Amino acid sequence: MMRVRVERIEEEEVKEESEEMDFSEYLKARERVKQFIKEVSWNTIAKEVSGVGRVTCEKLSKVAKHPLVLLFHSIPTLADSCGVSDLQVYNIVRWVCERLGISGLVSSKEFYERVKKYPILKTGVKEVDEVLEIKPRSVYVFWGGYGSGKTQFCIFLSVKSMAKFRDGGLEGITIYIDTEGGFKPERFFEIYNEMKKRGVEFITNKPQVLLVQPTNSYELRNFIANELPLLISKENVALVVVDSIIALPRVEYTGRNQLPSRQRAIMNIMQNLRKIAEVFKIPVVATSHAVASPSSFGTPIKMAGGYTLGHSTNVIVKFENRGGVFKLTVEKGDKPQSAEFTISESGIEPVKRKVRVKK
């Protein structure tokens, strides 16, 4: 099986005293999955799951290194390829979900009390933060034309995720899946250094991001389904970025006759990203392109991926470049509004409005 190379990009560490972290419930939820990875193995499944024995576990372990990975595979497809029954795979998946506390009925009040204790990743730009909240357990799609600020915004978020909770961060690093070569390490370090000069506190003086660069859609799907869950459990990951989710499928699946296959590939990726967000209690951000939509009233643009992306995400944000002033519009989400920002050495900045003085 092909494996995607994961590159750690970091600077030398300067040690400093750590401070006590807030959001204990959120941190416990993230830690629960990591503990599950350490404590549970295929031997555990063979002993504790009804109707599943050692032979079945040996067959499944050839596809999934850890039982948790089964959550990111189709039960019928996996059962058929491994020569086991659907019920056996389902029993394992149900057992894993129960152990992780992500199954069963939950009242709306209990659910609200749980999620309101999660931190929000903030940009520090008041106008933007009022309309766009990057929350754990949610999937976001940023779309727009070339040069609309999507990648710059994503790199900025990958830096800000390392900030302390009180400074609007998530106190964790980012896994940045770059399918177009848009990630620039020098830009990442520039934003980090400028933000630190401005007083933003980070969890460490050793800024880092885990960079993944798949070369085709198979590598992308395989990494997200089989390697990403285990990588998150080993590292202090607080955010996943996929920039972009549409690039590789659009290149490989061309023509109308391959459109259904392309949409299925995108749907598979998006569904697994939703599971990543839910299981690990982290936000996931993906980007998409803008495509022309010819009509009798001109040539407006729309989001590449269409309904497939629209139905698979919690929030959709459109990005536009208006001569150096960037505009984001929340098209799907709790707050369907717009905000403007500029891009500087330190990342995202508020727009400086000219004040007219009456004579």
Question: Does residue 250 surpass a pLDDT of 50?
Answer: yes
Band of residue 109 on the pLDDT scale cut at 50, 70, 90: confident
Walk me through the domains of the chain, giving residue ranges and CATH numbers: 24-100 (no CATH), 119-349 (3.40.50.300)
3-state SS, the chain, equals CCCCCEEEEECCCCCCCCCCCCCHHHHHHHHHHHHHHHHCCHHHHHHHCCCCCHHHHHHHHCCCCCHHHHHHCCHHHHHHHHCCCHHHHHHHHHHHHHHHCCCCCCCHHHHHHHHCCCCCECCCCHHHHHHCCECCCCEEEEEECCCCCHHHHHHHHHHHCCECHHHCCCCCEEEEEECCCCCCHHHHHHHHHHHHHCCCCECCCCCEEEEECCCCHHHHHHHHHHHHHHHHHHCCEEEEEEECCCHHHHHHCCCHHHHHHHHHHHHHHHHHHHHHHHHHCCCEEEEECEEECCECCECCEEECCHHHHHHHCCEEEEEEEECCEEEEEEEECCCCCEEEEEEECCEEECCCCCCCCCC
Question: Does residue 22 surpass a pLDDT of 70?
Answer: no
- Mean pLDDT to the nearest integer, 63-67: 92
* pLDDT of the residue at 17: 40
Question: Does residue 286 surpass a pLDDT of 50?
Answer: yes
Question: Does residue 75 surpass a pLDDT of 50?
Answer: yes
* pLDDT of the residue at 20: 45
* pLDDT of the residue at 359: 52
- Mean pLDDT to the nearest integer, 132-150: 92
* pLDDT of the residue at 15: 44
- Mean pLDDT to the nearest integer, 149-169: 94
pLDDT, tens digit (0-9, with 9 covering 90-100), for 292-322: 776 646 558 888 877 888 888 899 999 999 8
Question: Does residue 41 surpass a pLDDT of 70?
Answer: yes
pLDDT, tens digit (0-9, with 9 covering 90-100), for 125-136: 999 999 998 999
* pLDDT of the residue at 23: 81
Question: Does residue 167 surpass a pLDDT of 60?
Answer: yes
Question: Does residue 112 surpass a pLDDT of 80?
Answer: no
- Mean pLDDT to the nearest integer, 151-179: 94
Q: Are 163 and 122 in contact (CB under 8 A)?
A: no
Q: What is the CA radius of gyration of the chain?
A: 21
Question: Does residue 157 surpass a pLDDT of 60?
Answer: yes
Band of residue 154 on the pLDDT scale cut at 50, 70, 90: very high
pLDDT, tens digit (0-9, with 9 covering 90-100), for 190-248: 999 999 999 999 988 888 999 999 999 999 999 999 999 999 988 899 999 999 898 88
Cα torsion 38, 39, 43, 44: sign: negative
- Mean pLDDT to the nearest integer, 236-264: 86
